[in-house]
Homo-oligomer: A and B are copies of this chain.
Amino acid sequence: MMIVVMKTGASTKEISAVIARVKKLGYEAHLSDGEERTIIGVVGDGNIRAHQEQFELMEGVERTMPVSHPYKLASRDFHASNTLVPLNGGKVGDRKIAVIAGPCSVESRQQILETAHAMKEAGATALRGGAFKPRTSPYAFQGMGEEGLKYLAEAREQTGLPVVTEVMEPGLVPLVCDYADVLQIGARNMQNYALLHAVGKAQHTVLLKRGMSSTIEELLMAAEYILSHGNTRLMVCERGIRTFEKYTRNTFDINAVPVLKERTHLPVIADPSHATGHWQYVEAAARAAVAAGADGIIVEVHPNPEEAVSDGMQSLTFKRFEQMMQSLKRIAEAVDRSI
């Protein structure tokens, strides 16, 4: 459904031309004549948005306004109840809140194994760690690659924690699927459509991060790409957006949590590490996420942030992570959930 707003003083001929086009495309036209101007409702099945700009360019048309949302499979209108995504024996999207924790990058076998055991001990649901790293600079550490994946898999064997790791290109999806339990699509790749198609086809669990300047609607459209392959093991993640504020790395769009919970049936994860960029604020942001209704958090932890090759600034020590877990448990209970 779409509305076509005619200009003040649009001629009968112009109005008729719009109506004719509406009918030609197989829709019905509903006319509202105001004193100022006329509007035409375009009603019917089909993807009328594909023709929106065409109507907007017709003589006498001021603008058009689509009425329905552009996403379908991701919408609660399409699927009312929460989609539950299996993870580590539980289900993300259910009462229990998932905690995915670990270092930004896998740096060594020792580092990831040590972290995995500490996360397990502290009650995490899954282990994160990057083997392929998207870096702003070509001169920065780009990740350990397959070697890193192997260490992650070893950490899973030792601890039982499922592994979440980023995949950056379609050609590497099969490799990463071999080692990882959850494929992460990073913020920079939220609209990398070839990659979205590839992970959709893989039928592997996916954690899809919001782009740093993407709207919530665009995030749901990116989810739609993956869902269109019938892959519903999908979680969406708010990780902070880019604004003018300089005291934090990103601005945590906490509103996105209730907005997403209202609009989509998919589990909503929050990333307080990237959303703030400074470890001092991570616990407060994580508490806020749980209080606002997030189904899980993904957080960066490092055995020794001062030595981290990436994201040290926003990484928690094991001790701070444990403290945060205690604090989050209390918040979870206050919203009738658990961790």
Contacts and interface: CB of A to CB of B under 8 A. Distances in A.
Nearest to A259: B247
A33 interface: yes
Nearest to A229: B138
Interface stretch (A91-99, A153-161, A277-285): A277-285
Interface string A40-77: 01011101011001101110000001011011000001
Among A68, A241, A259, A284, the one with the most B-chain Cβ atoms within 10 Å of its Cβ is A284
A239 interface: no
Given A32-B43, A258-B280, A280-B262, A243 B246 contact: no
A82 interface: no
Interface stretch (A113-121, A123-131, A220-228): A220-228
A136 to B, nearest CB: 5
A246 B259 CA distance: 11
A245 B252 contact: no
Given A191-B136, A276-B255, A334-B333, A33 B37 contact: no
Nearest to A59: B306
A309 B3 CA distance: 19
A135 interface: yes
A17 to B, nearest CB: 10
A134 B191 contact: yes
A85 interface: no
Interface residues of A, number: 110
A305 interface: yes
B245 A216 contact: yes
Contact of A243 (B35, B50, B54, B241): B241
Given A44-B35, A241-B243, A276-B255, A307 B137 contact: no
Among A189, A255, A327, the one with the most B-chain Cβ atoms within 10 Å of its Cβ is A255
Contacts of A138: 193, 221, 224-225, 228
A305 B58 CA distance: 10
A334 to B, nearest CB: 4
A105 interface: no
A176 interface: no
Interface in A251-266: 251-259, 262-263
A311 interface: yes
Interface of A: 1, 3, 5, 8, 28, 30-37, 39, 41, 43-45, 47, 49-50, 53-54, 56-58, 65, 67-68, 70-71, 77, 134-142, 168-171, 188-189, 191-195, 211-213, 215-218, 221, 224-225, 228, 241-248, 251-259, 262-263, 275-276, 280-281, 284-285, 287-293, 305-313, 327, 330-331, 333-335
Given A136-B221, A168-B193, 8 more contacts: A3-B3, A41-B41, A54-B308, A189-B192, A216-B245, A247-B263, A258-B284, A284-B292
12 contacts: A1-B39, A3-B39, A30-B34, A32-B41, A54-B312, A58-B306, A136-B221, A137-B221, A247-B259, A258-B276, A287-B291, A287-B292
